[in-house]
Amino acid sequence: MIRIGIMGYGNLGRGVEAAVTKSPDMELVGVFTRRDPETVKIHTDGVKVYKLDDCKTMTDDIDVMILCNGSATDLPWMSPEYAHYFNTVESFDTHSDIPDHVDNVNAADIANDKTSIVSCGWDPGLFSVNRVMANAIVPNGKAYTFWGKGVSQGHSDAVRRIPGVKDARQYTIPIEDALEEIRDGKTPDLTARQMHKREVFVVPDDDVTEEDKQDIVDDIVTMPSYFDEYDTTVHFITEEEMQRDHSGLPHGGFVLRSGKVGYEDDQSAVIEYRLKLDSNPAFTGSVLVACARACYRLNKDGKYGCLTMLDVPPAYYSPMSRDDLLEHLM
């Protein structure tokens, strides 16, 4: 049994917990939180919630610590810190900072014979794996990443900061015509507006007038970098409608590569990878747990240091034996 600790218990922590407790080769040892442990109720019976640094006395009890914390302020210090004590897996997703983050975590791993896999999930993560493999196989081509249909927390937050907005939810939606053009073997140059559109649902404050609503719409659709480069539709709804129709966190997207292989210039190859997820955190949690299995095995192999999913042989994610994989899934 692979003994797992979970650090941080929000939506992602709950997704990880569900995936660990449903994995026959894994055991959940504890959940670690900055909140008062008494106030954190978890799903799994018989598993304790601890204060964050209680884990430092439990290094012999946990094979892999899964950090379910945020990329903005938590993981930049937590991942290097806890890599001193544990093999770790996390989902750091600030793309531009990944090289430095890998270096920071690697130093802690190497000093302690630990293995970490960072930036796990779907983007970065599964989408990265597909970008790299498709790029290597079809070098004479062009790559595209589309996101959605799904909720963007950053865009939803940006709308919530507009005066007169009580609550908001923003959906990023890929444009089907662009997808079809690429699937047909073409390699168009696409602007932001040609790849995605945005749809916003707003609950206005009680005292908002029709004129105020027009101002809110204008504020949204002209907002620099968030909305101004896209076609955006805004809908005003009630709090009840928000609760009833928009409480989920669906997401997904597409990685496509279209190009030419062989000697004939008119022969195309198109590789498409698609995710369609009713729950972004539940799926990301499932990816983290498969990565924890790989992390445990790579550490047993003596592969110390900070890795990403680009460094993991696919077989390492699976609970099946090599013989079973060759016989049933090859």
Instruction: For residue 179, state whether it binds its own copies (rule: CB under 8 A).
Output: no
User: What is the rounded CA–CA span in Å between residue 293 and residue 298?
Assistant: 9
Which residue among 34, 212, 269, 297 contacts its own copies (CB under 8 A)?
269
- Determine the interface stretch with its own copies among 57-65, 120-128, 166-174, 216-224 (rule: CB under 8 A): 120-128
Q: In the complex with its own copies, which residue's Cβ is closer, 169 or 226?
A: 169
Instruction: For residue 273, state whether it binds its own copies (rule: CB under 8 A).
Output: yes
Angle at the Cα of 87 (from 82 to 93), degrees rounded to 5?
Answer: 70
Q: How many CA atoms lie within 13 A of 252 on its CB side?
A: 12
User: What is the rounded CA–CA span in Å between residue 1 and residue 4?
Assistant: 9
Q: How far is CA 164 from the centre of its chain?
A: 31
Classify residue 254 as left (phi > 0), alpha (psi -120 to 50) or beta. beta
User: What is the rounded CA–CA span in Å between residue 285 and residue 11?
Assistant: 9
Q: Interaction with its own copies in 308-327: which residues (CB under 8 A)?
A: 308-315, 317-320, 322-323, 325-327
Q: In the complex with its own copies, which residue's Cβ is closer, 58 or 98?
A: 98
Backbone angles phi, psi at 88, to 5 degrees: -130, 155
- Determine the interface stretch with its own copies among 54-62, 104-112, 151-159, 263-271 (rule: CB under 8 A): 263-271
At closest approach, how far in Å is the CB of 107 from its own copies? Answer: 16
Q: In the complex with its own copies, which residue's Cβ is closer, 233 or 268?
A: 268
Q: In the complex with its own copies, which residue's Cβ is closer, 113 or 327?
A: 327
How many chain residues interact with its own copies (CB under 8 A)?
Answer: 73
At closest approach, how far in Å is the CB of 164 from its own copies? Answer: 33
Q: Interaction with its own copies in 37-66: which residues (CB under 8 A)?
A: 43
Contact 240, 166 (CB under 8 A): no
Q: Interaction with its own copies in 186-245: which residues (CB under 8 A)?
A: none
At closest approach, how far in Å is the CB of 322 from its own copies? Answer: 8
Which residue among 281, 295, 296, 304 contacts its own copies (CB under 8 A)?
281
At closest approach, how far in Å is the CB of 42 from its own copies? Answer: 11
User: What is the rounded CA–CA span in Å between residue 17 and residue 292?
Assistant: 12
Instruction: For residue 72, state whether it binds its own copies (rule: CB under 8 A).
Output: no
**Cβ neighbours of residue 236 closer than 8 Å, sequence gap 6 or more:** 202, 203, 204, 213
Which residue among 53, 139, 193, 228 contacts its own copies (CB under 8 A)?
139
Which residue among 37, 124, 150, 204 contacts its own copies (CB under 8 A)?
124
User: What is the rounded CA–CA span in Å between residue 128 and residue 122?
Assistant: 8
At closest approach, how far in Å is the CB of 79 from its own copies? Answer: 15
| CA 328 to each of CA 22, 252, 291, 324: distance values in angstroms, whole numbers, following the listed order | 22, 28, 21, 6
Instruction: For residue 106, state whether it binds its own copies (rule: CB under 8 A).
Output: no
Strand partners, 89: 66, 117
Instruction: For residue 140, state whether it binds its own copies (rule: CB under 8 A).
Output: yes
Instruction: For residue 290, state whether it binds its own copies (rule: CB under 8 A).
Output: yes
Instruction: For residue 68, state whether it binds its own copies (rule: CB under 8 A).
Output: no
Which residue among 52, 58, 98, 151 contacts its own copies (CB under 8 A)?
98
Rounded-to-5 percentages of helix, strand, coil across the chain? 40, 25, 35
Which residue among 91, 119, 172, 187 contacts its own copies (CB under 8 A)?
119
End-to-end C-alpha distance for the chain, whole angstroms: 26
